[in-house]
Amino acid sequence: MPQIIPAIAEDGSLYRIEKMEAHRRGVLHLAISVFVFDGDVMLVQRRAASKYHCPGQWANACCSHPHWEESAADAAARRLREELGCTLPLHDRGETTYRADVGGGLWEHERVTLFRGDIARGDLAFDPNPDEVSEVRWASVDALRAEAARAPETITPWFRIYLERWEGLGVA
């Protein structure tokens, strides 16, 4: 069943659109991104090889889209459970907008609500969904920036944008 997500009209109102149509047409739509930290290191995930775009690339803890009439906070908590099999308190850290070519004729053109969660690594019990995530690790922002500069093809386009904008994102 196609996923219906909120897209943003020129007048700022929301309308319903099927997720893949939004990505094919590059339509501005709502999204969420979750960042999980233990001190100065961040949890990152490698996207499963079966993902429809950016397979095998590294990204922040999770990203997705709210369903139609679902709040951003509920979507963030849902996707953290669905992708990483965990729950933790998340705090809204504002919004950012970007547009990125994610390959295969698909575009991410998103107004993203950013969420941050903080937890000690040893206290985070998670069980990644293999249909979503192939690997997880903890890394510093500086190490991830160096990796993105050295091998940009290993990092998702949106995560590279986040790393470039890091100081202004509000999740640090």
Determine which helix (DSSP H) or strand (DSSP E) holds 160, and give its type and residue range. helix 157-164
Residue 2: C-alpha distances to residues 20, 69, 79, 129 (Å): 8, 15, 17, 20
Active-site residue identified among 54, 83, 108, 110: 110
Residue 63 appears among annotated catalytic residues: yes
| Dist CA 113 CA 11 (whole Å) | 19
Residue with tokens 């969660």: 117
CA torsion through residues 125, 42, 97, 145, sign: negative
Residue 162 tokens read as 């986040």
Residues pairing with 17 in the sheet: 5
**Whether the Cβ atoms of residue 47 and residue 62 lie closer than 8 Å to each other:** no
Residue among 62, 63, 108, 132 flagged as catalytic: 63
Long-range contacts of 149-154 (CB under 8 A, 24+ apart): 153/57, 154/57, 154/58
Q: Catalytic amino acids? A: 63, 110
